Amino acid sequence: MYMSGFGNEFASEDPRCPGSLPEGQNNPQVCPYGLYAEQLSGSAFTCPRSTNKRSWLYRILPSVCHKPFKPMSCGDLTENWNEVEPDPNQLRWKPFNILKSSEKKVDFISGLHTVCGAGDSKSRNGIAIHMYTCNTSMIDKCFQNADGDFLIGANGLANPRDFQTPVAWYEDRTVATGYTVVNKYQGKLFSCQQDFSPFNVVAWHGNYTPYKYNLENFMVINCVAYDHADPSIFTVLTAKSTRPGVAIADFVIFPPRWGVADHTFRPPYYHRNCMSEFMGLIKGHYEAKEEGFQPGGASLHSIMTPHGPDVDCFEKNSTAVLKPERVAEGTMAFMFESSFSMAVTKWGLETCQRLDKSYYKCWEALKSHFNPNWKPSSK
């Protein structure tokens, strides 16, 4: 069950315990049903009320009831941006390997691999891009991220009603063999043990919540005259930086839409800019590189590194009859556009063995069409 909306003030209680939300206050001397009140804050206490993020949870036991955290192996999860030399080239990865059910059991945590990133979790100013693959559920284990959110704030044409937040549902379960809580803190993983399930929230209210969003619901706008509108029109979510108008990351998608621009080269144009662009293809064929950019793969175009459509795309669309047409039908591509200069990890450049070292060749056959005697056609 879910509640719809983005940034709402939600209130929810498990129907098995009616009246479990305290009336008229957050922290009564004795909570209904003998529950513990616990506040979860997502912003500083001194934030203006309009931007304050917090939720009150009413739990069977508070989350403080655990044994001490101990370091654990981080695998390929890292913030060591200095382990390889910088590489300004256009980078593209072939589809990352997907684990089969018959292979060694790997859960979400052990299946996380850091591809690239920048910044520092200690100062809470940065970005890290990970890929993951897993073939088994986390049994009596959960994950929390103290370094930042896996979810980022909204700013774009995603309708608030399409974001879905879960309703309260509790699990009152003792785990005699121990329940493992894994915590990512300052780029490292730590684990602790407790003897109960942490999913024991009977009721809650607030606006600091997890949510899910179906990318197919994005309401696209586009150019209806000529040239291209700025790619920001495809922004679903934004993680703001301390500089107004400059994002730590814009989460952008390129969904199916109509192309109708007149006198225009309609695919993405050649460009380089002051942002890093990490792109991935979920399904289908990306309009500007139909051959080499495959579902499950990714690319990184660093700050001021030029990129754009491959040879086939340029030649085809330079002479195409410009009529209304569906663009990117059956596809879904996404991009993180960041003001940070990304460093690629050793796993991304070497260990994963998915780097497409022939990527640059997709532009090699571009030829000069320059004609010094060109005259504009008469109208």
- CB-based contact 232:277 (threshold 8 Å): no
- CB-based contact 293:281 (threshold 8 Å): yes
285 is in an annotated binding site: no
Structure tokens at 100: 């089969």
Q: Considering 66, 113, 228, 369, which one is annotated as catalytic? A: 228
Other CB atoms within a 10 A radius of the CB of residue 72 amount to 15
Structure tokens at 80: 């060591």
Instruction: State yes or no: is 228 an active-site residue.
Output: yes
286 is in an annotated binding site: yes
271 is in an annotated binding site: yes
Structure tokens at 57: 């949870």
Binding residues: 271, 277, 286, 307
Annotated binding residues for Fe cation: 271, 277, 307
Return binding residues for homogentisate: 286, 307
State the catalytic residues. Answer: 228
